[in-house]
Chain A
Amino acid sequence: MSAKPHINLIVIGHVDHGKSTMAGNLLYQAGYITAKTIDDYAKESEQTGAGETFKFAWVLDSLKEERERGVTIDLSFQKFETSKLFYTIIDAPGHRDFIKNMITGTSQADCAILTISSKKGEFEVGVGPGGQAREHAYLARTLGVGQIAVAITKMDDVTTNWSQARYEECKKEIEGLLKVVGYDTSKINFVPVSGWTGDNLVKPSEKMPWYKGPTMMQVLDSFTQPPKPLDKPLRIPIQDVYTITGVGTVPVGRVETGVLKEGDKIVFMPGNVAGECKSIETHHTKIPVAEPGDNIGFSVRGVEKGTVHRGDVLGHPDNLPTVAKEFIGQIIVLAHPTAIAQGYTPVLHAHTVTMAATFTELIAKMDPRTGQTIEEKPAFLKTGDSALVKLRPLSPIVVEAYSHIPQLGRFAVRDMGNTIAVGVVKEVTEKA
């Protein structure tokens, strides 16, 4: 394992917008794949009729097949390193089913590359209503990804032809999208690239002398490992609880924010179950202090097993986890077969908790391009709408305002096996 700082990079964007080709060529140019490998795969690609233009994507696919067969068993997820950082790549699945798992998964992305095709037609679909560029920009924000860069791909396409005007047109549109979801676009790099020819991936492009910014590789190296949220209040969503002979009650979870020390007075919410942390272990090693990112089990004094459950959140008595009877969420409706109206009761997923929740009020519908309110108290919401809504869980649950503790302030809304919406908690309006 590399000693360089580790960072999780999520690659987001519409399917077929050149994610695989770009990643394949980047790995090639960075020296991870030899020219012979590329040529061998290119021949194979041509033989199957996929054509040479897919050769870099083909390389990745072929490497994936090797992984599938267990040939390179250590590489379940793609990893690579630059001069500064060691990256694990998370390639966001296109299917909405997986969005819930991205929201509630414990391994969160630190930085993101939004890839979007400059090709005529493809770009417009990606940023249009229901387009994945739009959804994924929102997803990145919901996931709390602070560092983001944009790769405007397929600059070599005949409809783009390395055009600065097309680049500027695409950039302007994406800037609008990213601003609405809350990004400061003045700090975001927009890199025009061709995954196929490799322009601006590692070396500055001669075809685009008008572009003076960094290459994709330089952008990757500009990302930093985010600091641990040590200064936030302690929050540990409980994943499971055990009774261990000779030890007692042992809750298990991942520290999201703050610090837990041996001997700390602790409280589990929403049950308001108080106790004391006797000792903490991770990887079977006793540790006096647990920090964000640590997967721990800890023994507690004064707490019976049946009184603490998965979905509870641990905190300190002087800064208790917030228990919400009702809260305002800012959501984007990803897919709903008809329309969402007041009274709709799907299932809410946040950290380790799952709970039915009712849409008690549709407060306002917002323009997804500007963030401005376009309708107060709308009668219903449909696919693609961005809105402020009031949600009331069937029983109170712990959530936090996203602005305060983002790790506990995001959620997914599911119904009948579909991910209906994702959102962040704006404000807890009624506390238990």
Chain B
Amino acid sequence: MAKVLAAIKIFPSDVSKDLSQLKDQIQRNLPKDVSVLRFQEEPIAFGLVALIATLSMPEEISGKMDEIEDKLKATEGVSEIQVITVSRA
């Protein structure tokens, strides 16, 4: 089954948010057939650090990306998300 990779920037709800805790919360909230390949931290400005999650998901299941976006946005500690790129694995 083909996989799709997505790099998604995740903005924390607050500058002081603990990012390791946020990573755990994100991991727990994602659908079971979606895996986090890695998290990177991107320093932005004035102490604000965003997370970039590289996710792997099945391609064929309709609505998987919507589900991921919804789950990420609903995760406590997440303010907004911004998809950077998607590609077949």
Hey, which bits of chain A sit against chain B, CB under 8 A?
8, 64, 67-68, 70, 73, 76-78, 89-95, 97-98, 100-102, 104-107, 239-240, 242, 244, 247, 250, 252, 280-284, 295-299, 310, 352, 417-418
Contacts and interface: CB of A to CB of B under 8 A. Distances in A.
Contacts of A299: 46
Q: How large is the interface on B (under 10, 10 to 19, 20 to 34, 35 or more residues)?
A: 35 or more
B44 A297 contact: yes
Contact of B80 (A105, A239, A417): A239
Contacts of B89: 64, 67-68
B59 A283 contact: no
Given A68-B56, A68-B89, A244-B46, A101 B65 contact: yes
B72 to A, nearest CB: 13
Contact of B87 (A92, A244, A298, A418): A92
Given A76-B7, A95-B59, A296-B44, A352 B82 contact: yes
Interface string B1-26: 01111110101001100000000000
Nearest to A74: B38
B74 interface: no
B12 to A, nearest CB: 9
A239 B82 contact: yes
A97 B48 contact: no
A269 B54 CA distance: 32
A55 to B, nearest CB: 18
Closest 5 A/B residue pairs (Cβ): A297-B45, A281-B45, A91-B88, A107-B85, A284-B43
B86 to A, nearest CB: 5
B46 A247 contact: yes
Given A68-B89, A244-B47, A296-B44, 13 more contacts: A67-B37, A68-B35, A70-B38, A73-B38, A77-B5, A77-B7, A95-B62, A97-B62, A98-B59, A102-B85, A281-B44, A310-B80, A417-B66
Interface string B33-63: 0010110001111111000001010011011
A240 B62 contact: no
Nearest to A284: B43
A430 B47 CA distance: 41
A413 B79 CA distance: 24
Nearest to A8: B85
B71 interface: no
A284 B62 contact: no
Contacts of B37: 67-68, 70, 73, 76
A250 B9 CA distance: 17
Contact of A93 (B44, B47, B79, B86): B86
A78, A105, A247, A310 pick with most chain B CB within 10 angstroms: A105
B43 to A, nearest CB: 4
B57 to A, nearest CB: 10
A352 B80 CA distance: 10
14 contacts: A73-B37, A89-B87, A94-B2, A105-B84, A106-B82, A239-B9, A239-B11, A239-B82, A252-B45, A283-B42, A284-B45, A299-B46, A310-B80, A418-B62
Contact of A281 (B6, B7, B46): B46
B14 to A, nearest CB: 8
Nearest to B35: A68
Contacts of A244: 15, 46-48
A303 B53 CA distance: 31
B87 A90 contact: yes
A270 to B, nearest CB: 18
B45 A296 contact: yes
B65 A107 contact: no
Contacts of B48: 242, 244, 250, 252, 297
B44 A252 contact: yes
Contacts of B59: 93-95, 98
A421 B84 CA distance: 21
A101 B86 contact: yes
Nearest to B56: A68
A61 B30 CA distance: 25
Nearest to B37: A76
Contacts of A73: 37-38
A294 B82 CA distance: 15
Contacts of A280: 45
